[in-house]
Amino acid sequence: MRAPHRTLAATAVAAVLAAGTASCGLQGANQFVPSAEPGSIQPVPSLQGAQIGVAGKSFTEQLILSKVLAISLEVAGADVVDRSGIPGSVAARSSLLAGDSDVQFEYTGTAWLTYLDQTETIPDPQEQYAAVRDLDAENGLTWLPPSPLNNSYGFAMGPDVAAELGITDFSEIADLPPEQRTFCLEPEFQSRSDGFTPLLETYGIPLGEPDGVPRDNVGVYDTGIVYSETAAGSCNFGEVFTTDGRISSLDLTVLEDDEGFFPAYNASLVVRSDTLAAYPALADVLQPVSDALDNETLIDLNLRVDVEGEEPAYVARDWLASEGFITCAECSPVDDRA
């Protein structure tokens, strides 16, 4: 059998997880799964009492998606081990590789470039999914069909900067003087293979070069702070997730990735292949939920957390109820909200 195809970083983190979490398991933040009753998701005999670890990263969309999975599986009868809120993509990935979790939503482009060491982007969503599915099968992971949700990276301008600069494409940054090429980033984007340095090189404005982007023009902030700092004009261009509700609430303008640097980032269910073989009903329960997710939905759900201050677990439960997957006497149906 071929050795698993892993990045060095993923292998190292997996080793740490195996050594340090064997007894207690990797735990993220907010281990709370609200109760719900069956809807179109019904109890499944083969899942009764099955212990299923659900993983998710620590940013808002992933917190919501991991709670969607946890609630759905609990309604189906599984005993869910909630590992949502894992800090960082590599750590979340490694929890699957190490067997510390069994299922999570992951993004096809992230897996292709960051975990599987590929360098050529694939803009077509189905081609990107198929390439990731086939290569990652060697690692003992099964990718179920992608959802319509495609959460790409982007760069946005605050309202005053957008009015002042009047640009619409990322390539137009190269026409600006170096002092106007100022950026706000979150930490992970600095080191990703689909991150800041390769992006700038693609657009011919390399980091640290006299005719590129001066290093002093780059500020690093917590993810949520990037949005507020960009809106306030602390930098001209802030890194954003394109399904983030703060884009509209802060009146940010997202630049077109006109060179097609970023691949498709469709969210897909990734399940340990041995877990899926033991509990094939997992796909029957979760794939309809995945199919119902799209960008418009997540923009609204993310906004409810990041702007309106709601709890991700309750936002996830409300959405599942509004789609009929579950029933819940306390839920606030999404369609009834003002």
Residue type, 262: F
Rounded to an integer, the average pLDDT of 158-164 is 97
**CATH of residue 165:** 3.40.190.120
Rounded to an integer, the average pLDDT of 108-126 is 90
Q: pLDDT value at position 10?
A: 36
Rounded CA gap, 227 and 14, in Å?
Answer: 32
Backbone angles phi, psi at 272, to 5 degrees: -55, 130
Is residue 127 domain-shared with residue 183, that is, in the same domain? no
Tens of pLDDT along 246-290? 999 999 999 999 998 988 999 999 999 999 999 999 999 999 999
Query: Is residue 62 assigned to a domain?
Result: yes
Query: Is residue 111 assigned to a domain?
Result: yes
Token duo for residue 230: 């960009």
Is residue 322 domain-shared with residue 231, that is, in the same domain? no
Is residue 119 domain-shared with residue 138, that is, in the same domain? yes
Query: Is residue 210 assigned to a domain?
Result: yes
Is residue 132 domain-shared with residue 203, that is, in the same domain? no
Rounded to an integer, the average pLDDT of 68-83 is 97
Rounded to an integer, the average pLDDT of 10-19 is 36
Find the DSSP H helices in the chain.
Answer: 8-20, 60-76, 89-97, 108-110, 125-136, 159-165, 196-202, 223-232, 246-249, 273-278, 281-291, 295-306, 312-322
Which residues, in sequence order, are CB contacts of 217 under 8 Å at separation 6+? 178, 179, 181, 182, 183, 235
DSSP state of 309: -
Task: Give pTM, 2 decimals.
Answer: 0.82
Is residue 36 domain-shared with residue 134, that is, in the same domain? yes
Tens of pLDDT along 25-73? 344 445 789 999 999 999 999 999 999 999 999 999 999 999 999 999 9
User: Which residue do the tokens 């069956």 mark?
Assistant: 38
Residue type, 83: R
Q: pLDDT value at position 57?
A: 95
**Residue 333 confidence class, pLDDT cut points 50, 70, 90:** low
**CATH of residue 290:** 3.40.190.10
pLDDT over threshold 60, residue 12: no
Is residue 164 domain-shared with residue 129, that is, in the same domain? no
Is residue 142 domain-shared with residue 272, that is, in the same domain? yes
pLDDT over threshold 80, residue 148: yes
User: Helix or strand or coil: residue 126?
Assistant: helix
Q: Which of 254, 276, 296 is the last residue of a domain?
A: 254
Query: Is residue 73 assigned to a domain?
Result: yes
Query: Is residue 261 assigned to a domain?
Result: no
Q: pLDDT value at position 34?
A: 92
List the one residue out of 253, 247, 236 whose CA is nearest residue 295: 247
Is residue 146 domain-shared with residue 157, that is, in the same domain? no
Q: In what order do the strands lie in the sheet with 103-107?
A: 79-86, 51-57, 103-107, 267-272, 141-143
List the one residue out of 126, 115, 142 whose CA is nearest residue 270: 142
Q: pLDDT value at position 17?
A: 36
Q: pLDDT value at position 13?
A: 36
Token duo for residue 34: 């609200």
Is residue 96 domain-shared with residue 235, that is, in the same domain? no
Q: Which of 254, 275, 292 is the last residue of a domain?
A: 254
* Residue 26, Ramachandran bin (φ over 0: left; ψ between -120 and 50: alpha; else beta): beta
Rounded to an integer, the average pLDDT of 202-215 is 92
Partnered with residue 55 across adjacent β-strands are 83
Rounded CA gap, 134 and 314, in Å?
Answer: 35
**Residue 193 confidence class, pLDDT cut points 50, 70, 90:** confident
Query: Is residue 2 assigned to a domain?
Result: no
Is residue 85 domain-shared with residue 159, that is, in the same domain? no
Computed over every residue of the chain, the mean pLDDT equals: 89
Is residue 90 domain-shared with residue 135, that is, in the same domain? yes
DSSP state of 207: B
Q: pLDDT value at position 316?
A: 97
Q: Which of 254, 289, 304 is the last residue of a domain?
A: 254
Q: pLDDT value at position 28?
A: 42
Tally of structural domains, the chain = 2
Query: Is residue 171 assigned to a domain?
Result: yes
User: Helix or strand or coil: residue 117?
Assistant: coil
Least confident of 3-7, 46-50, 79-83, 292-296: 3-7
Rounded CA gap, 244 and 60, in Å?
Answer: 9
Query: Is residue 89 assigned to a domain?
Result: yes
pLDDT over threshold 50, residue 227: yes
Tens of pLDDT along 151-160? 999 999 999 9
Is residue 18 domain-shared with residue 142, that is, in the same domain? yes
The whole domain housing 313 covers 8-150+266-336
Contact, 304 vs 310, CB < 8 A? yes
